[in-house]
Chains A and B, each alone.
Chain A
């Protein structure tokens, strides 16, 4: 189950610059820490984030172990057409967590 907080406007004027913010609940375990009995805790991070607007990629990022838990990304885009803004976070576990939000451009 994806636990994410998405903040993007519901409506925008054509040509307007909108800010999109996305935060995913994730421990971002670095792989450098040790747990009980000094055993290394295996690395488990989100390593790739992609945001698409109606299927077209508008922003992506590679993430690394130094990024804190619950990675938070904020970026801007120019509103061109109504549709779906989709978010995908891919982790070391190979799983992709997704979320999406609708926007109406007038």
Chain B
């Protein structure tokens, strides 16, 4: 009987070895390389020369200050919006919560560069929404968003969704008994909110704020679209401009910049971990979930306020984008009669690169989603169900390429995959392959989290029963585990598809002619001054994303808690 036991162990070990190689080669090794590279001596040989050189340069310091300033202010904006929306939607009895929640989630689903584009169309001198109302800037005037405050506003709105989700979860964790005890103590709902609910939900708010900060410092799309014309440079756009201008020979320098960016991200993530740990105390004791306060006659007022605020934040810019994509020649007012699909025709059929970008992004997103889900299932199995310590460590490490800013990962990937792959003379640089490698590294976490959440709901005894029946590890994975967690893994794959389909931050540093992505196409169409075409392409890609999001939400009803992040 010794033989089957040993073979069973070895097949599990073999599986673990394959997974380790995958995670290490795609994500960990490049990040380690970046770390080492950025600490190398400078041109004149002094220790840590690269890092010190960058640290002392005026451009870096300017960009660092700008990054901190815009991200902190954007975080403040997102905390205000996200908390207000979460409190209103969780603690009060307003109607149509599902619809309001979906609108509050929109900024999460729309990629940064498209959000920025939409806001540019909304607030520009040619705005088809503000123009007819007489609120648009004078013709010829610079768009007011091409500034630090523009970045703060748009980035704040975008990351408000993260705060919203965190605060909502925090509020839902406040036991109903604690609120009822305070009301019996004589406290009015407002007093209860201030003395009991807010203190208990504040760690969640802090965690959400830290996440918003980390997302903001790593944001590329918004500072690129708004900051480059506004001459407001942050670290991500500085790295982009350096690499764009000087090519791979400045890799060492941008690696040093990337390390600074990583350090900021790590600080933010540590703050978040701290806040999450502090939040634990609120959830002791068992009690029914919180019940919303009745607003009475004030309800209709609150509803009106919510609809107007959320429409301004999330819907108006998208309408401006849609209007711009249908706009006839400059100066002709938009109406049913004058609307034209010319920009769509131009983007899709006349400009070869745009159509190519659609195909490329579709393939990349599909491959990244399928492969990542296929890797996530055995990894989640070994870490969550088998409690294999090495797999648990791998599970945590797999988050690293997603936790660092996309810009950092892209540079790490260039560092490793610019030279030919060992024992071959093939270099991935300049091919679609390098973008796929980066996506596989970056998005594994997006498939892994839902799969782990799904795996946690599957009883360990199912696996043990199959083991007793004599099934080996691969057999158990395919016949017992996969059917149980397939929906969760599929939800993760959909998330990856939606994110990768519109991705810009990573691909803008890795693309080459013939290997454009959709994000890059929108970015450069706008850059070249063809905003209506950019708007048309953006509209199509949002339509695809929203359709997928809608489909995922339908699926979410049959999924365990925590699998789909925006589930109402």
Our verdict on whether A and B bind, yes or no, reads no
Chain A residues near B (Cβ < 8 Å): none
Chain B residues near A (Cβ < 8 Å): none
